[in-house]
Amino acid sequence: MSHLNSYLTAAGGLLAGLATAAALLAWQRRIIHQQRQTLTARERDRSYWHCLATHSDTTELPNRRALRTHLEATFSLGEPLGLVFIDLDGFKWVNDTYGHEHGNDLLYQVGQRLATLGPPAALVAHLSGDEFAVVVHGNAGDVEDVARTAYVRISGLPNNVGDTAVTLTASVGYALAEPYMLPRDLLRAADQAMYLAKARRSGAHAHDPSHNTPPGAVIRYRDLR
């Protein structure tokens, strides 16, 4: 009988130990699960804030910061590179007539059309307001082709603004990176070309490398509009 009692006592101790171990294991699993959820939430937060910092919340396209980062990285490779600047003509009229919400819808439509340009267009960015930019990895002919295609996609097709079809035109300037240039120089060159396209109503206009900015002139030519 004493042997049976000893056996039962030992068995009971073993079961109690197993139950304690199971409870401890379950607790550990809960902690690990909670930690994983916390890490996943942090990763989501980091991804969300990174997206806010590098993308336009109106068009969901990369923003000016992302454009500069891309240019700086590409300049370091020393490969053929060009930049296209796009400004929508008459966009203020759309905002004033239909309201900012419909204006934002139009910007989104334009952004989506530009986003489907495909190679050699490497990055399409929404800079601010009604200004867009396209980075082109290619030679002078490639840059010109992308610029003229972007012009046609914006100026040649109507956009839905509420229940109304609205046709816009665009002023497009483009420039090719030269050996002496830095990223800011290419940005300035494309901006100058775009300003001339708007001033001359020429649709798409190439930057003239022989053109020098007069002393004391406004560097951001779009500020003159």
Give me the CATH number covering residue 163.
3.30.70.270
92 and 138 fall within a common domain: yes
Q: Tell me if 214 sits within 8 A of 105, measured CB to CB.
A: no
Q: Is residue 59 part of a domain?
A: no
Number of domains into which the chain is organized: 2
Task: Please tell me the distance from the alpha carbon of residue 169 to that of residue 157, in angstroms, as a whole number.
Answer: 9
Query: What's the one-letter identity of residue 178?
Result: E
Task: Please tell me the distance from the alpha carbon of residue 209 to that of residue 175, in angstroms, as a whole number.
Answer: 9
167 and 194 fall within a common domain: yes
Q: Is residue 139 part of a domain?
A: yes
26 and 105 fall within a common domain: no
123 and 34 fall within a common domain: no
80 and 127 fall within a common domain: yes
Q: Is residue 154 part of a domain?
A: yes
Query: What tokens were used for 133?
Result: 């930019």
120 and 40 fall within a common domain: no
Q: For position 134, what pLDDT does the model report?
A: 94
Residue 218 parent element (H or E): none
- Domain end, chosen from 15, 34, 54, is at 54
106 and 83 fall within a common domain: yes
84 and 189 fall within a common domain: yes
112 and 207 fall within a common domain: yes
What pLDDT tens digit does each residue of the chain (225 aa) get? 555 555 545 555 555 555 665 565 666 566 556 666 665 655 544 444 344 467 777 777 888 888 898 998 888 887 889 999 999 887 777 777 777 677 778 888 888 888 888 889 889 999 878 889 999 999 999 999 999 999 988 887 777 777 777 778 889 999 999 888 899 999 999 999 999 888 888 788 889 776 654 433 334 434 433
100 and 181 fall within a common domain: yes
42 and 68 fall within a common domain: no
Round the CA-based radius of gyration of the chain to a whole number and report it.
29
Q: Is residue 87 part of a domain?
A: yes
The domain in which residue 219 lies consists of 64-224
Q: Is residue 173 part of a domain?
A: yes
Q: For position 23, what pLDDT does the model report?
A: 63
Taking alpha carbons only, the member of 127, 137, 142, 60 closest to residue 88 is 127
Q: Is residue 213 part of a domain?
A: yes
Active-site residues, by number, are 130
Q: Is residue 164 part of a domain?
A: yes
27 and 70 fall within a common domain: no
Q: Tell me if 193 sits within 8 A of 85, measured CB to CB.
A: yes
Q: Is residue 161 part of a domain?
A: yes
Task: Please tell me the distance from the alpha carbon of residue 132 to that of residue 1, in angstroms, as a whole number.
Answer: 91
